[in-house]
């Protein structure tokens, strides 16, 4: 019999994770406050749940894909939350990106409620989830992390136990610093290429295999060049993660001047209404400041 998994949160990322699980013989129960998002996964074979509690009641593991600490805590410990319905010992796999210290508090509260907790943020976005090639960095007890890896075997091709509770979220913040700076560098380079009359869409192939090459260069410079803003992530989510990295830097006394600039540009775009747009919309930073011909 296939494993039964509850998915709480079926947005852009959760929907992609749910799609992959449904397509790879996982018995999937889904809850999201937006019925339309649930309906998309029901069409792929998932079962709709009326609450997080009811989704968890019949699940061997619960995956969370949510946008903030407040929402994660409410989904687990709020009215009709996972803790009300889950069996004792149920494994919670939190694939959200939240603060490491808050994660440790959630794990402690989950343990007090008889639940097991693995923080398991990800990298690769919706496209990698759909192809089963996510990179996941996990924190928690070794046996729990091993079980989480088995649950996500069809979703993640790179799954690493980074240490105790919170270590996965710390690694994700580091990942986001690297991604945020890379996104911004590639967008800036695209703007320069365009201003200089070079076809930016040809640059990834020209630089393939060289030191400047990266997954973000290959995927995003063509999207930057064509202003392809189809949603696979959100600028305001990057703001949240870079804020978290800056908080951690203050706690550890590390200077991060490039991250500060990167975060400010993301904040500016959020302030002018681009927060819900994909990282590809970083090009709006230059578009809004470049005079028309």
Catalytic sites, residue numbers: 172
Residue in the block written with tokens 């500016």 = 268
* DSSP secondary structure letter of residue 25: T
What residue has token string 């709020």? 78
Neighbours of 147 (CB within 10 A): 18
* Total residues belonging to the chain: 293
Burial of 248-269, coded b for 16+ CB within 10 Å and e otherwise, reads bbeeeeeebeebeebbebbbeb
Euclidean distance between CA atoms 240 and 176, whole angstroms:
10
Name the residue among 47, 104, 110 with its Cα closest to residue 76.
Answer: 110
Q: Please tell me the distance from the alpha carbon of residue 170 to that of residue 139, in angstroms, as a whole number.
A: 9
Q: For residues 135 and 242, is the Cβ–Cβ distance under 8 A?
A: no
CA atoms of 183 and 176, how far apart (whole Å): 10
- Return the structure tokens found at 190: 């695209």
Question: What is the number of other CB atoms lying within 10 angstroms of the CB of residue 74?
Answer: 15
> Half-sphere exposure of 52 toward its Cβ, with a 13 Å CA cutoff?
25
Q: How many CB atoms lie within 10 A of CB 84?
A: 17
- Structural tokens at position 128: 């990698």
State how far the Cα of 13 lies from the Cα of 277, in Å rounded to an integer. 14
């Amino acid at each position: 019999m296939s494993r039964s998994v509850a998915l709480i949160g079926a947005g852009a990322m959760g929907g992609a994770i749910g799609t992959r699980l449904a397509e790879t013989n996982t018995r999937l129960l889904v809850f999201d406050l937006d019925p339309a998002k649930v309906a998309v996964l029901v069409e792929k074979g998932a079962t709709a749940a009326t609450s997080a509690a009811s989704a968890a009641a019949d699940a061997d593991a619960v995956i969370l894909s949510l946008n903030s600490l407040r929402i994660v805590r409410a989904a687990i410990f709020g009215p009709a939350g996972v803790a009300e319905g889950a069996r004792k010992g149920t494994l919670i796999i939190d694939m959200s990106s939240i603060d490491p210290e808050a994660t440790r508090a959630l794990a402690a509260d989950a343990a007090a409620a008889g639940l097991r907790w693995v923080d398991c943020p990800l990298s690769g976005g919706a496209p990698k989830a759909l192809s089963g090639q996510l990179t996941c960095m996990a924190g928690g007890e070794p046996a729990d992390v091993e079980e989480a890896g088995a649950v996500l075997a069809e979703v993640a091709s790179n799954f690493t136990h980074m240490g105790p509770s919170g270590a996965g979220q710390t690694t994700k913040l580091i990942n986001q610093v690297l991604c945020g700076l890379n996104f911004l560098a590639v967008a800036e380079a695209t703007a320069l290429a365009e201003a200089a009359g070079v076809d930016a869409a040809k640059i990834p192939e020209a630089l393939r295999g060289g030191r400047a090459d990266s997954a973000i260069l290959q995927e995003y410079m063509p999207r930057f060049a064509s202003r392809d803003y189809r949603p696979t992530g959100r600028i305001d989510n990057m703001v949240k993660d870079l804020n978290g990295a800056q908080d951690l830097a203050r706690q550890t006394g590390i200077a991060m001047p490039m991250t500060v600039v990167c975060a400010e540009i993301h904040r500016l775009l959020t302030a002018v209404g681009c927060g819900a747009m994909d990282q590809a919309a970083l090009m709006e930073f230059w578009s809004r400041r470049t005079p028309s011909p």
